[in-house]
Amino acid sequence: MKSKEKPMPVKTKPQAKPKAKAKTAAKPIKKAASKAKKAPGHECLVCGYRVIIDEACGCAVEHILLCCDQPMKRA
């Protein structure tokens, strides 16, 4: 009869532990983009009427818009 030998346990390499991820600087939060670019306009300080300028005339002198007998403020 043959003697039964115990099988030798197979040694395996221990699995490497996952490395900790390096902390990165937090990304700055982006602000929501405005939906539309504001057109230059003027507002009356007396009655609240607003005027939006669609196209510039190209003059070197700034034009003064009047409402309620007072100059309108740029908005």
State which residues form the domain around 55. Answer: 41-74
Per-residue pLDDT reduced to its tens digit, 4-53:
777 777 777 777 777 766 666 677 777 766 666 666 789 999 999 999 98
Q: Does residue 35 lie within any of the structural domains?
A: no
Its pTM stands at 0.44
Q: Does residue 55 lie within any of the structural domains?
A: yes
Q: Does residue 46 lie within any of the structural domains?
A: yes
Per-residue pLDDT reduced to its tens digit, 52-65:
988 888 888 888 89
Q: Does residue 27 lie within any of the structural domains?
A: no
Q: Does residue 5 lie within any of the structural domains?
A: no
- State how many domains the chain has: 1
Q: Does residue 64 lie within any of the structural domains?
A: yes
Q: Does residue 67 lie within any of the structural domains?
A: yes
Q: Does residue 59 lie within any of the structural domains?
A: yes
Q: Map the chain to HEC letters.
A: CCCCCCCCCCCCCCCCCCCCCCCCCCCCCCCCCCCCCCCCEEECCCCCCEEECCCCCCCCCCCCCEECCEECEEC
Cα 6 to Cα 2, 3, 9, 13: the distances in Å are 12, 10, 9, 22
